[in-house]
Amino acid sequence: MKKVIIIVLILAVLAFAVVSFFLNKKTDLVVEDPAEYTFTVNEFVEEGLTSNDSLFNAKYVGKVIEIKGEIKVLNKDVQNPSLQFNTNDESIVVNTAFDKSVYDKVKALSQGEGVSLTCICNGLSLPEDPDDLLSETIFTFNRCNINEIQ
């Protein structure tokens, strides 16, 4: 009987620890996990534009992706650093956002440089109407980490 009580107690403690872990787990503001997919920017854009957008988003949203390309626009805002990649098409925006803790690394980057990032993919969003003010097709990433400058 004593043994049963001890086993039940141990199981209860373990269950509590597991539940607490998941309840208190914090969101990683910078991706540390290895990438599930690796793409150049133009490969990723091409796949996005030639696929059904819902299927594309179902496949890649929330996934860790390594993406390589040339920096088109750098936004060295301390609170909200970000960069946009160059693409073959002006109406396509590939936008990557960083946590402010990565600011110093972003600050060291320059426009026109090649860079490899690991980010969480937030998907492809198409313009609702081509005459909209927001007429671009946008691929968004966040929680990015800089792997290397090429």
For the CA atoms of the chain, what is the radius of gyration?
Answer: 21
2, 22, 34, 50: which one binds another protein (CB under 8 A): 22
Of 7-15, 39-47, 78-86, 109-117, which part binds another protein (CB under 8 A)?
A: 78-86
Question: In the beta sheet, which residues pair with residue 37?
Answer: 65
x/- binding map, residues 30-69, to another protein, per CB under 8 A? ---------------------------xx--xx-------
CB atoms within 10 A of CB 12: 10
Rule CB under 8 A: say whether 148 interacts with another protein: no
Return the ∠ at Cα 84 (arms to 83 and 88), rounded to 5°: 160
95, 117, 118, 146: which one binds another protein (CB under 8 A): 95
52: three-class secondary structure by DSSP: coil
Rule CB under 8 A: say whether 140 interacts with another protein: yes
Report which of 105, 108, 113 is spatially closest to residue 73, judged by C-alpha positions.
Answer: 113
CA 91 to chain centre: 21
What are the b/e assignments for 99-112, b being 16+ CB within 10 Å?
beebbeebeebeee
7: three-class secondary structure by DSSP: helix
Shortest reach from residue 68's CB to another protein, in Å: 20
Q: Which amino acid, 13?
A: V
Shortest reach from residue 94's CB to another protein, in Å: 9
Size of the site for another protein (CB under 8 A): 37
Rule CB under 8 A: say whether 87 interacts with another protein: no
List interacting residues with another protein (CB under 8 A).
22-29, 57-58, 61-62, 75, 77, 80, 82, 84, 90-91, 93, 95, 97, 120, 122-123, 125, 128, 132-136, 138, 140-143
